[in-house]
Amino acid sequence: MVKLSVNINKIATLRNARGANEPNILSVAQDIQAFGAHGITVHPRPDERHITYQDVRQLPEVVTTEFNVEGNPNSKFVDLVCSVKPTQVTLVPDAPDAITSSAGWDTVKNRSFLQEVIQEFKRNGIRTSIFLDPDISQVEAALITGTDRIELYTESYAALFPKKPKEAIAPFITAATKAQEIGLGLNAGHDLSLENIRFFAQNMPGLLEVSIGHALVCESLYYGIENVVNQYISKLSNL
């Protein structure tokens, strides 16, 4: 089945709103794994407005599944990831003041930079993934960087899915097929939800992992987080 990695950034946002430690991020990560999730994802940003660097350092104490750390690989981020050594690092080209990720890498223009950063992570035994738009030329160029995987940026799929699901997913199928052909592992994330996840996963060749945060937390307000995690796992099973 496709693995579910739960992004807990929004839970950290709730904690930070009161300036204390409720909800406790470590306890939440433990519970989400106990509910059946296959991994925990975090995306620390320079202003630490949700997940903090200290959270990232502490989470390996409780993450017994896969630990995925996302972010723009500036020197501080690279040092953090290399010290923590998560299962996977996902490189995202977001600006320091970005509200959320809004585009994938240009792997042609940034090839040398990405090669250098990825080599550093690989020297530390960390699996690498590059956040990418569903564009064949970008997928092909990603291979040259030495990355292990790509993560397709799925916002455009989620936006078009309610009205035109086949049109929405078409470029992602093309990109995923190319990734399979050239030997890149495939992840996906951004705005995936209970409404659109099964159709996406059913139609994506070689999909290994999805990272879901904002939608999952919003859905959990109504249905409860254990229930929602299990609904995602059900939709990702027996595809």
Listed as ranges, residues in the chain with pLDDT below 50 are: none
Q: How far apart are CA 160 and CA 92, in angstroms?
A: 23
Residue with token string 């200290």: 54
Domain count, the chain: 1
What pLDDT is stored for residue 19 in this prediction? Answer: 87
181 is catalytic: no
Q: Rounded distance, CA 168 to CA 156, Å?
A: 7
* Res 95: pLDDT: 65
pLDDT at 96: 65
Element at 231 (helix H, strand E) = helix 225-236
Q: Which residues contact 112 (CB under 8 A, 6 or more apart)?
A: none
Residue 46: which CATH number? 3.20.20.70
Q: Annotated catalytic residue: which of 66, 70, 151, 209?
A: 70
pLDDT of res. 238: 82
Q: How far is Cα 30 from Cα 62, in angstroms, rounded to an integer?
A: 6
pLDDT of residue 103: 79
DSSP type of residue 99: S
190 is annotated as an active-site residue? yes
Whole-number pLDDT of residue 101: 63
Q: Return the pLDDT at 94.
A: 80
* pLDDT at residue 97 in the model: 65
Q: How confident is the model over 134-144, as pLDDT tens digits?
A: 999 999 999 99
Domain carrying residue 139: 3-236
Active-site residue 195, yes or no? Answer: no
CA distances from 62 to 39, 58, 67, 132 (A): 11, 8, 10, 29
Catalytic residue among 50, 66, 151, 190: 190
